[in-house]
Amino acid sequence: MPAAIVSRFKSLPRLNMLRTLTKVLPSRKPLVLLGEGSAVRLCHSMADQGFQRVLIVTDEILRSLGTVDPMVEAFKARGITCSVFDGVKPDPTFAVVDAGLAALRQLRGDAILVVGGGSAIDAGKVISLSAASGKTPLELVGVFKARQPGLPLFVVPSTSGTGSEVSVAAVISDSVTHVKSLVADPGVVPVAAALDPLVTRGMPPSVTAETGIDALTHALEGWMSVFADEQTDQYNRAAVRMILANLETACTEPGNLAARDAMALASHYAGLSLSTTFVGYVHAIAHQLGGRYGIPHGRANAMVLPHVLAFNLPSCADRFARLARELGLTAPGAPDAAAAQALLNRINDLLASVPVRRGGQQLKPEDFPGIIEDALKEAHGTYPVPRYMNEADVEQILRQIRAVT
């Protein structure tokens, strides 16, 4: 990154503190089980570790589809008592977490298994941390408030997008205002996760597309981050490569387990980068669209992503060009400008090829001032973006999104 940009961010005490924390704090990574049947293998592993009373955290849809049944049967076969809490909703609230805590206490559970997408995993993380620390979920809002590990947490993601199984953060919403609160703590990282394509194959094409674009956004924002390093570049390069090669197939061929296996791993790789690189303006703006209009997070990312990539092009041409060359999207000798544009073109082609709605007619111009203020407040001093936006920049992106049919 240009020295002037790095210097500008170093002048921001909050961002500089976050960068220091990512370097000095221990970063636990979960044991990862891969492939068909790994979810059931994870249950047997939990039995081998001596857990006796497990709370399964999920949602009503996955329970009704029978997704959790093989795990319940695996626990029963090993003599483990389990109970299913299926009260998780999209963008889980503190009330949801409190209900999950009540179910855990009633069971006297000694471990938690989450089966679900990012919302279920976030809820499970905070349930785990609250149960172990004795602090209420609201008292855990902020950075490193628990000061101890959570109750042993295991995760089976049902979508390939959030990478939540490896991140140190969870997002919980206020039940009334729907304002999202961040719980960031190393103690929320699961002990182990199973990336099982048999679980993700039940997702409809639209959800597969939206969550896949979420994973792509994580990888690309990580690639653009001024905190990026050699290790995060390795993770994010792999994630982008696998998503470009497999997302369309996963949408059009739901039973293609190889494509779903690749998407689960791509999401995981992008998630491994997040604790170092964080996110950027795509997420800052998408969060506001989700909160105000109820737009699913992955879809909101898809609406915003191409516009932020174009905005960052002047500052990231060399980085975009390098990624394009490493992915074989352009000739080795192509100028940076042409190579960078080849990457952006490939991203736009993918967005057009998968079933994700990107029209923004529901955006109201009278809401723009509030959206702009909240997006800039979220990003500035928190996200290590390569180029700063001002109010006019965000407004232009909102108008571009609104014009998409």
Q: What's the pLDDT at 15?
A: 64
Give the predicted TM-score (pTM) of the model. Answer: 0.89
Q: What's the pLDDT at 76?
A: 97
| Lowest mean per-residue pLDDT among 31-35, 124-128, 147-151 | 147-151
In single-letter form, the type of residue at position 66 comes to G
DSSP label at residue 93: B
Could you count the other beta carbons within 10 Å of the beta carbon of residue 105?
A: 11
Q: Specify the 3-state DSSP secondary structure of 21.
A: helix
Structure tokens at 32: 């990862």
CB distance 229 to 222 below 8 Å: no
Give the tens place of pLDDT for each residue, 193-221.
Answer: 999 999 998 889 999 999 999 999 999 99
Which domains are present in the chain?
Answer: 25-200 (3.40.50.1970), 205-403 (1.20.1090.10)
- Determine the average pLDDT of the residues in 354-378: 95
DSSP label at residue 393: H
Residue written as token pair 């293998």: 41
How many whole angstroms separate alpha carbon 227 and alpha carbon 12? 14
Split at pLDDT 50, 70, 90, the class of 370 is very high
CB distance 357 to 195 below 8 Å: no
3-state helix, strand, coil in the chain (%, to 5): 60, 10, 30
Q: What's the pLDDT at 275?
A: 83
In single-letter form, the type of residue at position 119 comes to S
Q: Is the pLDDT of residue 33 over 50?
A: yes
C-alpha 370: how far from chain center: 24
Closest by alpha carbon to 155, among 100, 116, 193, 195?
A: 193
Closest by alpha carbon to 164, among 254, 292, 264, 304?
A: 264
Sign, Cα dihedral of 116, 118, 119, 120: positive
What b/e sequence results for 156-179 when a residue is b if at least 16 CB atoms lie within 10 Å of its CB, and e otherwise? bbbbbbbbbbbbbbbbbbeeeeee
